[in-house]
Structure 1
Amino acid sequence: MSSDWMRDERPLHASERILDTAAQLYVEKGIAAVGMADIARAAGCSRATLYRYFDSRQALQLAFVHREARRIGSLIAAKVPRSGDAGEVIVSAMLAAIELVRADPALAAWFQLGDSGLAAQIADSSDVIESLGKAFLGHADVEDEQTSRKARWLVRVIVSLLTVPGTDADDEREMLEQFVAPVLIAPTT
């Protein structure tokens, strides 16, 4: 075990190292099959050290998902213009999210058979993921129940397409344009 795990000035580096190690294991073994002992061993630290940074497997998984959601959100913000037709902006943001997740093996692993339920559970309960959905809607700072419900539904649609893809990219775009965007841009009553 490396002594650098014990230094006070390295907690952010250490937690990032642990999350990076978890990402590699998620690709190799699948999300459900990766335990804390596996991560500690692969990261080169003791389980006690690992638990100092993440108090449970669920906490580590949530930290990983939140880190990656923030990264994906930043990439989408840079990639998708925020002006123009509201429906097109939402559809483009959703498709960009789907494309970015599918292109990253550590994220795609969350949507494989047997692991997608955990991804859906986190997506449904995460404030970070809901905030990302609100950003897609162009309402990142809005705090009302209707906007929150729309954001959570938008995320569920993305999770659904990641779990059960359309026949191709055009099919997914058409479904989002026809069935999702009109509901999301409709005024709330």
Structure 2
Amino acid sequence: MTPNGSGSWLSDERTEVAAERILDAAAALFVERGVTATGMAEVAKAAGCSRATLYRYFENRRALHRAFVHREARKLGERIATTVAPISEPRARVAEAVLMAIREVRATPTLAAWFGLGDAGLAAELASTSEVIEVLGAAFLADVWTADDVEITRRARWLVRAIVSLLVVPGTDADDERAMVEQFLVPAVLPHVPHAL
């Protein structure tokens, strides 16, 4: 916007860049105010656009939340996949991927905000959407499970639910969470896999 508030917002930039700018503004507000307490008017103001412009990119708050979660899941999934790729033993790879996801979410304010008091239910709901499952499923189960797509998706859905559960109700410490993941989660997700890829 121009200083007097007129003119077209980001007129020379591509739609994708504009949407990213809005999501970045929303991320800062999520950390500052909480996810459920952040309204569309506040996001528009923080992004420097009108509410009408914001609604052109995101039809409602749910669409904004979904776009934010999908964007962050893609980034997180890529980091996890890259980090665990050298681990050849399938169960160790999945365990490390799950534990890394938990660490990364807790260490990243824009992600941790989704698991604060009052926001965890929304996070759980959005985490079960197909795009998030596909991205994280690929990061966790790539090359370690050779079943059909339906089976992989079901296992990825279960993994994401377990991660959300540990984010909402943490173990007593990192060692406790590692033990739970290795003893209960990994054997349920990968009951019969070869020892090496």
Note whether the superposition's TM-score is higher than 0.5.
yes
The question of whether the paired residues in 1 share the 8 Å contact of 2:70 and 2:131 is answered with no
Q: Which has the larger radius of gyration?
A: 2
Which of 141-150 and 165-174 deviates more?
Answer: 141-150
Deviations, residues 36-70 of structure 1 (Å, cap 9, x unaligned): 10100111110001011111111111110011011
Q: Which runs of 5+ in 1 are unaligned?
A: none
Partner of 1:88: 92
- C-alpha displacement at 1:137, in angstroms? 1.5
The answer as to 2:80 corresponding to 1:76 is yes
Provide the C-alpha distance between the structure 1 equivalents of 2:36 and 2:152, rounded to a whole number of angstroms: 32
Aligned equivalent of 1:173: 178
Name the TM-score, length of structure 2 as normaliser.
Answer: 0.88
Structure 2 Cα separation of the partners of residues 149 and 131 of structure 1: 13
Unaligned runs of 5+ in 2: none
Amino acid in the other structure paired with 1:36 = M
**CA displacement at 1:143 relative to structure 2:** 4.7
1:163 maps to what in 2?
168
Contact 2:97 2:139 in 1 (8 A): no
Aligned mates of 2:75, 2:146 — CA distance in 1: 19
Q: Name the CA distance, whole Å, in 1 between partners of 2:115 and 2:13.
A: 35
Residues 1:47 and 2:45 aligned together: no
Corresponding residue for 2:33? 29
The root-mean-square deviation of aligned C-alpha atoms, in Å, is: 2.0
User: Identity across aligned pairs (percent)?
Assistant: 57
Q: What's the TM-score once normalised by structure 1's chain length?
A: 0.92
Could you tell me how far 1:147 is from its partner in structure 2?
Answer: 1.8
Equivalent-residue separation in structure 2 for 1:11 and 1:96 (angstroms) = 32
> What displacement does 1:138 show?
2.1
Counterpart position of 1:144:
149
Q: Which has the higher helix share?
A: 1
